[in-house]
Structure 1
Amino acid sequence: MSASRGSGRLPTGFAAETFISDSTFRQAHRAVDGGSGTNSKKRKRESKGDSSIVSGAGAYKGPWAKYEQVRPDAASDEEYGEDVEVEIVYEEDEIAPIPEAPKKLAGTDYRDTDAEGETSEFVGSQEFDYQGRTYMHVPNDLDIKLTGERGDIKNYHPKKLIHTFKYHQKAITQVRFFPNSGHLLLSASADSKIAIWDVYHQRELLRTYSGHTKSVNDIDFNPGGTQFISASYDRYMKLWDTETGKCLNKFTTGKTPHVVRINPSIPHEFLAGMSDKKILQYDTRSGEMVQEYDHHLGPVNTITFCDENRRFVTTSDDKSLRAWEYGIPVPIKFIAEPYMFSMVRSSPHPSGKYIAFQSSDNQIVVYSSTDRFRQNRKKSYRGHNVAGYAPDVAISPDGQIVSSGDSGGYVCFWDWKTCKMWHKIKAGDSPVLAVQWHPRETSKVITGDGEGRLQYWD
């Protein structure tokens, strides 16, 4: 960049970097210095100034400090003004690098879980028994039969705490008993961990599953219990092997899954209710999405299979209920009344005729799960407080007792027929979010609260 003194032009903007040879540079240098004779004078720069002064005398100029205009003694003003071109070379100041801010993950930041890798660790006292069987084997040395038909066992509401399982550091989001036998217990937590426990014998922690980077929302066993699916706020759904802890497959659309359910009749397919209002159907063998149900107007909260798993019912933040034929992306029933609130958790009745929903207006409502899908107005279970949380609702295996968590730390039990509350148990001070009945026992219930405690009641 050059500026002619005579024309009064001044360099503005930025100095473009240029590459020149040594000889060319020396020639230009001599031209500015007025030759390399004894008359030549070195051009001086103004001082760079003090970096703490912004304006006025002694202000910081840095690399923008000007050169004094020096001309050869022999040259006249006119000659110098017309003939000599002054080349202004800008020196680069060394700028200290700005230290990087410490990397902190905000609540909305997502890191890629591929980098994390999935790990699982057996932490129990003994991985194999004397016959080489793992914890997957249903124990038969107990005074209760855990295999075969359940029979007509009547359920009673529990009265006292018999055991507390402690491992999770944050709130329990979901618990699941091992299908049919109930000899194992799977728990998911907001600390991003999943754990499996022994329900009988030592009641110890058996295995942990790590691989999610954010809170795990939901878990669901396949009908045989050999695998389970997990959904997390890190936007991934992962399929795990229950016995080895290996992650068999993972699925993501970039949106948060709120609820996952494996189809009991087609164990290699599952449904996921997403934050972007869609219900997605995946095939775990190929890892492909095979169907998309896109009619809701808000994030999907519950998915409940009914009618021998040929249909399913979904609810959403749009305060509506929709029923679908499995595999057909058009709702067969749509219910949205002005008095309805969003329904956040659900539980099918063992008879297969009803579904109970946790409604956000502090009540549990019941809808029929047969052709009509109408609300049963006679059944409303009140007396607990939901208050911004989504406590689970669970119905006893004989279908006679409805139970629910409570934001005040209670577990509540109602009679299915009369809708009267049996009683409340004070489980702690933090909200009880997860509740499940043991599939074989008469009065055993597991609860999970906001402090990471799993409590077993009888």
Structure 2
Amino acid sequence: MLALRGYGSGSDAGSGSGSGSESDGEKESGGSSEVAVAVPLHLLPRPSSTSSVAAALAVAVCAAPPVLPQDNRSEPRVVNPALKELQHNPTYDELYAPIVGPENPFQSQHSKASKNMLSGFVEKAHISEFQFENQRRTFTSYGHALDPTADDDADPSSIVGISSTIAPPEEKKTVFESSKQRPLDKRKRKKNNNPEDIEGFLGPWGGYVDEKRIMKPSGEEAEALEEIVAKRQKRGKIQDEKPLEEKSILHISDSVDYQGRTFLCPPQDVGVNLKSDTPPDRCFLPKSHIHTWKGHTKGISTVKWFPRSAHLLISGSMDCRVKIWEVYKERRCIRTYYGHRQAVRDVNFNNAGKLFISAGYDRYIKLWDTETGDCISHFTSRKIPYCAKFHPDDDKQHLIVAGTSDKKIICWDTRNGEIVQEYDRHLGAVNSITFVDENRRFVTTSDDKSLRVWEWDTPVDMKYIADPTMHSMPFVTSSPNGKWLACQSMDNKVVVFSALNRFKMNRKKTFTGHMVAGYACGLDYSPDMSYLISGDADGKCYVWDWKTTKLYKKWKAHDGVCISALWHPHEPSKVVTAGWDGLIKYWD
């Protein structure tokens, strides 16, 4: 098939081919129109020469084959009934076609039914919020309301709650329509709105005239309540656990040496002046593991140095025990203290080291004599103490403060066992207590992701620090010079606050690289404040440079969580770490 091109002017093929060489402008100016005619090849006249064949092929045009539109498909597209949105516009047959796939022969008629909730299919219905609240209040106040199951064709006055034959039309009104007073509205209130009457002024707090307020049960009622409580305790519903009988075991043969000195006296022949008040001139990074203390059967919660000399180490563990260890010479376990039913959370010495307190998950704080192992007294607020310590001033060593799980900081007097002050402003469990500003103030952190600063013995916080970017900070330690607070943050960072007047966060000092989310891993400064050391959830120990915040060193210290890391205050390169594997390790 060939398509021959000609012109409407009536010229023959030869003239058409000649005129085809003219420009388009000449064609349009000549007024002729182009016509394409498809002629079969066998109807064309046989050319006499090669030139005539070339002339005949010159006017041939290849015709494009017919192409169907892309959307015209012979097979219908399957629509998934679980889809919420379609990417194409389906036809009616496609939209209402049966679901593709074999039918489950084991399904019952109930399971085949369409459901949008576990109990069946619920159709959405709309009711005005005002009408719903109006009927609810009417039913609460008068005991009747419109029947919600009635159809539109039914009697609109059909009600539920009271019989329509008994109730007169006046009582069928709603709270919005009715003008009668409800029974409680008839009660008269005590009124005294005179502001000049200071003692008798009631304002909006005046109660009802016939109201009886019993703030405390009378003698007979109190006895009856005591009997009920006693019966419940016998049944085991309320367990008023008494503190466990306290005891201690001395693990060394002699409690005193040949000069009559107890283990509380620091040794003098260890090559280090343990009574010095000046820190080492320069500290160095520890390089090797030199000793391991074993004795706890479960993970360790906290370790602390003996005050000033640091020749002893005290540890509290999840095996409910507290142990004291030698740091020098034979490095023995000196004494074990038993007195908690549940894991020990925190331990702290007083300034002299002769007493220490232990806080446990059994809700008791116990005061111990370090040398004899006797439990002097115990304190409880019926809540779990997360941290507990003595007041650092020498004239206030009889006061201990504890942060508890009921959002309070409680101060006890150890002389009489009474609570002398409560600081109740936090919105979550209190995690840490740190004294600053020469012990005139203290800083607390909590699970409410805030930091509060308190004046001592003033139960209102003087400063509240909270930011949307802050996380809870379960461990806080003060720098040796008292100017900075290093806080272990739950977003795997160590953030630093100023411990002076403003308590502003130092944005330039943020230490990262470790994983502590979910754990209260301990922090400590080197004595010369050149390094900051921290534990890690993976059992590693991290050391950063304090000035540049650069991570200098990390090493695998424990198999479990490295919960505590302490730098010896008199040694330039000795560090103690404690972990949940029950071990205490010494590094140099």
The bucket for the TM-score relative to the shorter chain is: 0.7 to 0.9
Deviations 1:154-190 (A, max 9, x none): 2222111100000001111110111110111001101
Q: Which of 371, 375, 381 is residue 505 of structure 2 equivalent to? A: 375
User: What is the alpha-carbon distance in structure 1 between the residues aligned to residue 253 and residue 575 of structure 2?
Assistant: 25
Higher strand share: 1
Deviations 1:330-368 (A, max 9, x none): 111001100000001011011111110000000000001
Partner of 1:303: 433
User: What is the alpha-carbon distance in structure 1 between the residues aligned to residue 462 and residue 281 of structure 2?
Assistant: 36
| 2:331 matches 1:191 | no
What is the CA-CA distance between 1:257 and the residue it aligns to?
0.2
The percent identity for this pair of structures is 50
| 2:241 matches 1:112 | yes
Partner of 2:377: 249
| 2:363 matches 1:235 | yes
What is the CA-CA distance between 1:126 and the residue it aligns to?
2.9
Name the SS of the counterpart of 1:343 in structure 2. coil
What is the CA-CA distance between 1:125 and the residue it aligns to?
3.7
| 2:272 matches 1:174 | no
Bigger Cα displacement from structure 2, 398-407 vs 120-129:
120-129
TM-score, structure 2 normalization:
0.58
Q: Which of 390, 394, 405 is residue 262 of structure 1 equivalent to? A: 390
Partner of 1:78: none
Does the CA contact (< 8 Å) of 2:280 and 2:570 recur in 1? no
Partner of 2:179: none
Q: Which of 482, 494, 516 is residue 352 of structure 1 equivalent to? A: 482
Name the SS of the counterpart of 1:430 in structure 2. coil
Does the CA contact (< 8 Å) of 1:280 and 1:291 recur in 2? yes
Q: Which of 274, 277, 283 is residue 404 of structure 2 equivalent to? A: 274
Partner of 1:13: none
The letter for the 1-side match of 2:422 is E
Name the SS of the counterpart of 2:529 in structure 1. coil
User: What is the alpha-carbon distance in structure 2 between the residues aligned to residue 161 and residue 153 of structure 1?
Assistant: 23
User: What is the alpha-carbon distance in structure 1 between the residues aligned to residue 501 and residue 519 of structure 2?
Assistant: 31
The letter for the 2-side match of 1:301 is N
Q: Give 1:8-157 correspondences, 5 Å limit.
A: 112-114=241-243, 116-157=244-285
Deviations 1:122-156 (A, max 9, x none): 01243221112210111111211111322553222
| 2:335 matches 1:207 | yes
| 2:549 matches 1:432 | no
Does the CA contact (< 8 Å) of 1:237 and 1:250 recur in 2? yes
Q: Which has the higher contact order (CA 8 A, sep 6+)?
A: 1
Distance 1:151 1:395, change over 3 A: closer
The letter for the 1-side match of 2:286 is P
Partner of 1:364: 494
User: What is the alpha-carbon distance in structure 1 between the residues aligned to residue 360 and residue 306 of structure 2?
Assistant: 21
User: What is the alpha-carbon distance in structure 2 between the residues aligned to residue 440 and residue 131 of structure 1?
Assistant: 25
| 2:443 matches 1:443 | no
Partner of 2:553: 423
Does the CA contact (< 8 Å) of 2:471 and 2:491 recur in 1? yes
| 2:577 matches 1:452 | no
The letter for the 1-side match of 2:399 is E
Distance 1:127 1:111, change over 3 A: farther
Does the CA contact (< 8 Å) of 2:280 and 2:527 recur in 1? no
Q: Which of 214, 222, 226 is residue 354 of structure 2 equivalent to? A: 226
The letter for the 2-side match of 1:259 is C
Does the CA contact (< 8 Å) of 1:159 and 1:425 recur in 2? no
Does the CA contact (< 8 Å) of 1:113 and 1:211 recur in 2? no
Q: Which of 433, 454, 462 is residue 324 of structure 1 equivalent to? A: 454
Mark the structure with the bigger radius of gyration. 2
The letter for the 2-side match of 1:233 is Y
What is the CA-CA distance between 1:110 and the residue it aligns to?
7.0
Does the CA contact (< 8 Å) of 2:279 and 2:570 recur in 1? no
What is the CA-CA distance between 1:437 and the residue it aligns to?
1.4
User: What is the alpha-carbon distance in structure 1 between the residues aligned to residue 431 and residue 484 of structure 2?
Assistant: 18
Partner of 1:287: 417
The letter for the 1-side match of 2:477 is S
Partner of 1:342: 472
Partner of 1:411: 541
User: What is the alpha-carbon distance in structure 2 between the residues aligned to residue 134 and residue 188 of structure 1?
Assistant: 22
Does the CA contact (< 8 Å) of 1:110 and 1:234 recur in 2? no
User: What is the alpha-carbon distance in structure 2 between the residues aligned to residue 279 and residue 257 of structure 1?
Assistant: 9
Size of the alignment, in residue pairs?
A: 350
Bigger Cα displacement from structure 2, 205-214 vs 396-405:
396-405
What is the CA-CA distance between 1:261 and the residue it aligns to?
1.7
User: What is the alpha-carbon distance in structure 1 between the residues aligned to residue 529 and residue 399 of structure 2?
Assistant: 27
Distance 1:303 1:212, change over 3 A: same
Bigger Cα displacement from structure 2, 281-290 vs 348-357:
281-290
Structure 1 gaps of 5+ residues are: 1-108
Does the CA contact (< 8 Å) of 1:259 and 1:302 recur in 2? yes
Deviations 1:365-395 (A, max 9, x none): 0001111011011110000001321111111
User: What is the alpha-carbon distance in structure 1 between the residues aligned to residue 575 and residue 566 of structure 2?
Assistant: 6
Higher helix share: 2
User: What is the alpha-carbon distance in structure 2 between the residues aligned to residue 331 and residue 388 of structure 1?
Assistant: 27
Deviations 1:274-310 (A, max 9, x none): 0000001111112111100000000001110000111
Deviations 1:26-72 (A, max 9, x none): xxxxxxxxxxxxxxxxxxxxxxxxxxxxxxxxxxxxxxxxxxxxxxx
Q: Which of 159, 165, 169 is residue 287 of structure 2 equivalent to? A: 159
The letter for the 2-side match of 1:364 is V
The letter for the 1-side match of 2:348 is D
What is the CA-CA distance between 1:410 and the residue it aligns to?
0.2
User: What is the alpha-carbon distance in structure 2 between the residues aligned to residue 428 and residue 439 of structure 1?
Assistant: 22
User: What is the alpha-carbon distance in structure 1 between the residues aligned to residue 357 and residue 306 of structure 2?
Assistant: 13
Partner of 1:6: none
Name the SS of the counterpart of 2:474 in structure 1. strand
User: What is the alpha-carbon distance in structure 2 between the residues aligned to residue 146 and residue 314 of structure 1?
Assistant: 31
User: What is the alpha-carbon distance in structure 1 between the residues aligned to residue 371 and residue 318 of structure 2?
Assistant: 23
What is the CA-CA distance between 1:428 and the residue it aligns to?
2.5
Name the SS of the counterpart of 1:364 in structure 2. strand
Does the CA contact (< 8 Å) of 1:172 and 1:433 recur in 2? yes
User: What is the alpha-carbon distance in structure 1 between the residues aligned to residue 456 and residue 284 of structure 2?
Assistant: 35
Partner of 1:95: none
Deviations 1:430-453 (A, max 9, x none): 110011111111111111111110
Deviations 1:94-140 (A, max 9, x none): xxxxxxxxxxxxxxx977243x2100110124322111221011111
Distance 1:134 1:275, change over 3 A: same
Partner of 2:142: none
Distance 1:226 1:389, change over 3 A: same
The letter for the 2-side match of 1:299 is A
